Amino acid sequence: MVARSPSGPPSEYAGREFDLAASENGSAASGRDAGQEITGEAADRICRAVIELLETEGYETMLLRDVARHARVSLTKIYKLYGSREELILAALDWWLEQERYAALEVRVPEPDEILYARLMRVLRAIFEPWEQHPALLTAYFRARSAPGGEQLMQRGLDAVVPPAMAALDGVDPEFVQDLNTIVSSLVYGLLGRFAGGEIEVGEIVPAIDRTVYWLTTGYDAVREHRVEPGR
């Protein structure tokens, strides 16, 4: 599956429905009454509805009235909880990632004979392979992380990914870890952008990461093996 154009949500979708909700409630500020907080169960239904609609309708055309209908809540309730369409999508993606993705990541002590390449790809495959079953959500994730508030989504991902990644890098030179992070993070961002722009298929992402990690770690292992220690 190839994603749609990376342009943001059309203005008629982004603004019209929140205008409708605002007309029901007066304003965003007045709608956020602490005494009228939405229940956790309803919030889960809203997030689940957003995820389902992102997968079936896509990022650009998902409508809030459809979210309200699927979640069996009013637009009024949605508007009381979320300040914008982007905030709603961010919250839903964060909810889904916590439920479906990050829970599967584990901090594992490397086996004595496990090479660096295998250690790293064990972690990276666990992160990226599940996206192949949810390409529309990957498109939404890429766009949401560039929207206002998207840094929180990125930070949540880092909090989940860094511990298993650093466990896999145990004993590796800090300089190489820094270089590896710079190269792989830039590669991943570029691959996700190309996928969201419709240039590559979702199944091309992991193989590109795999080859990059293979050659980087192969070079590192070769240099480390032949490195002459000072004084020898």
Q: What is the pLDDT along the chain (232 residues), one digit of tens a residue?
A: 444 444 444 433 344 343 333 333 433 333 343 334 446 888 899 999 999 999 999 999 999 999 999 999 999 889 888 888 999 999 999 999 888 777 778 888 888 889 999 999 999 999 999 899 999 999 999 999 888 888 888 888 888 889 999 999 999 999 999 999 999 999 999 999 999 999 999 999 999 999 999 999 999 999 887 764 545 4
Note if the pTM is more than 0.85: no
How high is the pLDDT of residue 141? 94
Residue 202 neighbours by CB distance under 10 Å: 21
How high is the pLDDT of residue 9? 41
How high is the pLDDT of residue 227? 66
Say if residues 160 and 102 touch (Cβ distance below 8 Å).
yes
Say if residues 58 and 52 touch (Cβ distance below 8 Å).
no
How high is the pLDDT of residue 39? 65
Measure the CA–CA gap between 74 and 146, rounded to whole angstroms. Answer: 28
Residue 2's alpha-carbon distances to 11, 92, 125, 192, in angstroms, are 23, 22, 20, 12
